[in-house]
Amino acid sequence: MTTVTTHASSDPSQTASTPVTTTKKPATQATPSPADCWDLYDACYAGNLEEVKRILSQGVDVNCRRWGWTPVMRAAYRGHRDVVELLVSEGADVSLVDRNGNNILHYACYEGHLETVKFVLSLHVVDIDARDNDGRTAADLARRGGYTRVLDLLVSRGAQ
């Protein structure tokens, strides 16, 4: 509740305090707009760590979605391990899947980003043999892309 002091006249003895109930959030706690999610998504795609930090400091939902993807999925797809690590430390849910059933590990394997795959596996959250809606595993994507180092890592960790 906010208290507003009103001055009905120039006489200070006539000052009244009126309690006012408001649901308006202070500017520092404003609800992020969908555009803010797009900004976060774009910064993650570009690997712009400082911009990601700035946007997150404004209260943007770290798990917001754009076209079904979360920012951490987009960063993993581009192999920006540092951004992925930051997002995870800020509460990114790595267990989420997109509308096609792809998880963060699928995205890290699409382009063979070994260091990002290592980090995702170190979290021990994602099922290494999870299948997308087309039945593909992360190992299938690494195999299809010819990313033998990523595939070898996945197999060494028990992937089928």
Q: What percent of the chain has pLDDT over 70?
A: 79
59-102 confidence digits (pLDDT tens): 999 999 988 899 999 999 999 999 999 999 999 999 999 999 99
118 contact partners, CB below 8 Å, separation of at least 6: 153
Which pLDDT tens digit goes with each residue over 26-60? 334 444 456 789 999 999 999 999 999 999 999 99
**pLDDT value at 19 more than 90:** no
CB 126 within 8 A of CB 104: yes
Q: CATH top-level class for 32-156?
A: mainly alpha
At residue 61's C-alpha, the angle toward residues 127 and 38, to 5°, is 100
Across 13-23, b (16+ Cβ under 10 Å) vs e yields eeeeeeeeeee
Q: Which helix (H) or strand (E) holds 3?
A: strand 2-7
The overall pTM is greater than 0.95: no
